[in-house]
Amino acid sequence: MDRYLVFGHPVRHSKSPFIHTLFARQTQQELEYGLAEPAVDEFAQALRTFFDQGGKGCNVTVPFKEQAFTLVDRLSPRAKRAGAVNTIKLTDDGVLLGDNTDGAGLVADLKSHGVTLADSRILLLGAGGAARGALAPLLAELPSELVIANRTHTKAQQLAAEFHDLGPVTAQAYEQLAGPFDLVINSTSASLQGELPPLTPALIHTDIAIYDMMYGASDTAFISWAKQHGARQTMDGLGMLVEQAAEAFTVWRGIRPGTKQVLRELKRNLGVI
C-alpha cells in the first residue's frame, strides 16, 4: 500500500492522519498515512530513510519546513516563494519535489467562508514563516492593499520589499496602522501563549473579517478579543488545515477530495461541535 506521513516535532497531536485517512476513504484511494517525530537534528536522515523504504510522499510541519526546503531535489514556484516546504512528493522519475500548500489552503478557506479578497484592504499580522507562505497566494487574489505589521518592524519591512514585485504590499508599525481594513489575518504565534498582537481595538468594526491561523477547542485569544470589540465574522485556522491537506492530497494523488464533510468530522473529533 502507498505510504505517506507527516514529519514534525512534536507531532503526536497532529490531525493530518485523521484528515488524510478520511480523504482516502472518500476518494477510494488505497494508502496509509502515519506520523514521524525524529529528533530535531535527525530529520534529514529520517526523510531519506522514509523514501528509501518506499514512501510516496510526506507532509512536513514545525520545526522542519525550512530544512525540508534545502533537502528536496526540486521546488515548486510557490515553495520557492514561501522559503519553506510542507509537502513532498516522490515523482515517477524518482525526484523529490518540494511544494508548499499552506498559502493556497488559507485562500481556499477564506473563499469558502465567503470572504472577498479582490479589491480588499488586508492587514497581515506577523512576519514569520506563516506570513511568508501566505503572501504570494493572497497577492494573487488582487487585494487593493496588503499591509504587514510585525512586533519586530524591520522584519515586516524586509518581507514587504521581498514581495513588492507581486502586488501592493507595504509594512506599517502597529502603532501607526491606518484603517479601515476589510480583513485581518493573524499569522503570529501569539495565540499559542494566550497573548495578543498589540493591535488597537479602534481597527475592529462590525464589517471586518477576522482570521486567526491558530485554532483550538475554544476561541483563540485573538478571536475572543476581536469578538469583544465588535467583529461579527471570525474564523480560526482549522479550515486552513483541512484545505492545505486537500491541496497536498491533490498533489500526491491527482484527485481533489471534498473538504466540507471532513472539516465537520474534524470539529466533532476535537469536540468543537
- Give the C-alpha separation, 59 to 45, whole Å: 16
- Give the C-alpha separation, 82 to 99, whole Å: 9
Q: Kindly tell me the sign of the dihedral angle through the C-alpha atoms of 246, 251, 253, 256.
A: positive
Q: Which stretch binds ligand ATR (CB under 6 A): 39-47, 149-157, 235-243, 244-252?
A: 149-157
- Give the C-alpha separation, 259 to 243, whole Å: 7
- Nearest-approach distance from CB 167 to ligand ATR, in angstroms: 20
Nearer to ligand ATR, 22 or 238 (CB): 238
Using CB under 6 A as the binding rule, whether residue 105 contacts ligand ATR is answered as: no
Is 160 in contact with 138 (CB distance < 8 Å)? no
Question: Which residue matches cell numbers 516546504?
Answer: 85
Nearer to ligand ATR, 24 or 107 (CB): 107
Select the residue interacting with ligand ATR from 3, 15, 80, 151 (CB under 6 A).
151
Using CB under 6 A as the binding rule, whether residue 214 contacts ligand ATR is answered as: no
Main-chain phi, psi angles of 62, to 5 degrees: -55, 135
Beta strands 145-149 and 169-171: pairing type?
parallel
Three-state DSSP at 179 gives coil
Nearer to ligand ATR, 135 or 190 (CB): 190
Is 66 in contact with 36 (CB distance < 8 Å)? no
Q: Which candidate in 56, 65, 80, 267 is catalytic?
A: 65
Binding letters toward ligand ATR, positions 36-55, x by CB under 6 A: --------------------
Three-state DSSP at 21 gives helix
Identify the bridge partners of residue 32 per DSSP, sorted by sequence position. Answer: 3
Is 43 in contact with 19 (CB distance < 8 Å)? no
Question: Which residue matches cell numbers 479602534?
Answer: 202
Task: Restricting to residues 126-145, name those near ligand ATR by CB under 6 A.
Answer: 126-131
Using CB under 6 A as the binding rule, whether residue 155 contacts ligand ATR is answered as: yes
Using CB under 6 A as the binding rule, whether residue 148 contacts ligand ATR is answered as: no
Q: What is the DSSP string of 119-162?
A: T-EEEEE--SHHHHHHHHHHHTT--SEEEEE-SSHHHHHHHHHH
- Nearest-approach distance from CB 231 to ligand ATR, in angstroms: 18
- Nearest-approach distance from CB 177 to ligand ATR, in angstroms: 13
Task: Restricting to residues 173-192, name those near ligand ATR by CB under 6 A.
Answer: 187-190
Residue 273 in grid coordinates:
461541535
Check if 89 is active-site. Answer: no
- Nearest-approach distance from CB 195 to ligand ATR, in angstroms: 4
Nearer to ligand ATR, 43 or 252 (CB): 43
Using CB under 6 A as the binding rule, whether residue 197 contacts ligand ATR is answered as: yes
Active-site positions read 65
Binding site for ligand ATR (CB under 6 A): 126-131, 150-152, 155, 187-190, 195, 197
